Structure 1
Amino acid sequence: MEQVLIAGATGATGKKIINFLKESQYFEPIAMIRKEDQKSFFEDQNVRWILGDLSKDVSHTCKNMDKVIFAAGSGGSNVVEIDQEGAKRFIDASKSNNIKKFVMLSSMGADQPEEMEELHDYMVAKHKADIYLRNSRLNYAIVRPGALTNEAGTQHIELSHKLKEQGSISRTDVAQVLTRVLHDDTANKETFEIIKGGRLIGKALETMSTVEV
């Protein structure tokens, strides 16, 4: 099984990612936590963990990992330090450790942050992090969901490199997409948007099935 490190494992979406990976026959999740008192949540689920603070050097966290998911966020309180520079530190750590695939949780609007009056600073930070990943020479998938909700997952989405409409999507469905694009034959060096829709996630992702480049 491939070892997958999740940055942001303690967040609402991160915990759902962990749950999906626990059910996988291909991947084993490793939770990156900032404080040691967060470990019990994962130990109770028999999930391995590693200490790492995105505001500092995290190069040690990616050792012996195969792939990574960046689902961390500052919650709007420190977007430059965490959402932008923290992502860059994690990308650099992934490069140093020859990570085979980097899955980035981004956001709709990150491609044109100048058009986003609300959350402008956040979108700029995500935009810069996405560009840094694209230029890193790592294999990557950048997933840009619409507004995240805590509704139950539907397993149905709309997906495109650039959607024609805004929309929302459940964290559960986003987590499922993030785990599915870890596979080698799906979404290699791709950036795409997702919202709640009418296509099964697996079918929608077939449009992103590619040979690794």
Structure 2
Amino acid sequence: MNIAIWGASSGLGAAMVDYYHAQGMNVIAIARNPNKNTKLAEYNITSICCDATDKEQVEAAVSALPNNTFNISTMGSFRSDTPVDYIGHRYLTNALEQSTSQRLLLITSLGCGDTWKYLSERAKAGFGSAVREKTLAEAWLQSSSLNYTILRPGGLKDGEPTHQGELSQHTEVHGAITRGEVARLSHELLLSSDAKGQIFQCVDPNIAPY
């Protein structure tokens, strides 16, 4: 299986690279600056430089992917002057629609879409702008022709898969989860035909949120 990880240089994207490489998959790492993730050279992983706020760079990156590549996007830009959350995913969705790679798993966060009402006023003030950008990305993807799944994790913490994360839908949840566990759950969703066109959230009830 070919897996393209968008946002692979750090954070959740880097954890995705670690996880899928360990599963023996052909990982393609895409990031504005792939060199930030030293594991890419260590793993001998193909990397593509791409500023996702640039439409032509996104189209070029998608055209370089093998046919029928599964795509996972962890792209985000908290407090950036040029946030990638919406525009980058708009460009990515549009480019994938014109390719053979029709499967996209978009990672956003709790608080997006219909879960906005569950965010505290403090959270809305602190990172509400990023959540709203991600909500726009979700809406653009949902109105596309792609086979998509959206995953909204709770607060992200460093750590390996715990095998204790819980996927849920249509209910209020709060909490945290390790990046490694989000990667493991993303694998479950990619392999599930029932996950297509669906939105899930995930937290690990055994991890303290703070």
TM-score by length of 2: 0.83
Deviations 1:164-189 (A, max 9, x none): 33111111111111233222535111
Q: Partners of 2:164 and 2:95 in 1: how far apart? A: 34
> In the alignment, does 2:74 pair up with 1:76?
no
Alpha carbons of structure 1 residues 153 and 91: separation in structure 2 relative to 1, 3 Å: same
> Aligned match of 2:28 in 24, 27, 30?
30
Comparing 91-100 with 123-132, greater Cα deviation is found at 91-100
Q: Partners of 1:145 and 1:40 in 2: how far apart? A: 25
Written as runs of structure 1 = structure 2, the 5 A alignment for 1:22-171 is 22-25=21-24, 27-35=25-33, 37-38=35-36, 41-57=39-55, 58-63=58-63, 64-65=65-66, 66-78=69-81, 81-112=83-114, 115=117, 116=119, 117-118=124-125, 119-171=127-179
Alpha carbons of structure 1 residues 114 and 182: separation in structure 2 relative to 1, 3 Å: closer
Identity %: 23
Deviations 1:100-134 (A, max 9, x none): 31000011110147534232211110111001111
Partners of 2:115 and 2:172 within 8 A in 1: no
Query: Which position in structure 2 is the counterpart of 1:5?
Result: 4
Alpha carbons of structure 1 residues 62 and 184: separation in structure 2 relative to 1, 3 Å: farther
- One-letter code aligned to 1:187: A
> In the alignment, does 2:192 pair up with 1:189?
no
Runs of 4+ in 1 over 6 A off after TM superposition: none
Partners of 1:33 and 1:39 within 8 A in 2: no
Q: Partners of 2:34 and 2:173 in 1: how far apart? A: 42
Q: What are structure 2's unaligned runs of at least 5 residues?
A: none
Q: Give RMSD over aligned pairs.
A: 2.1
Per-residue deviation, 1:40: 5.5
TM-score by length of 1: 0.82
Partners of 2:7 and 2:76 within 8 A in 1: yes
Q: What are structure 1's unaligned runs of at least 5 residues?
A: 199-213
Q: Partners of 1:178 and 1:13 in 2: how far apart? A: 11
Count of aligned pairs: 195
Per-residue deviation, 1:43: 2.0
Alpha carbons of structure 1 residues 153 and 163: separation in structure 2 relative to 1, 3 Å: farther
Comparing 136-145 with 181-190, greater Cα deviation is found at 181-190
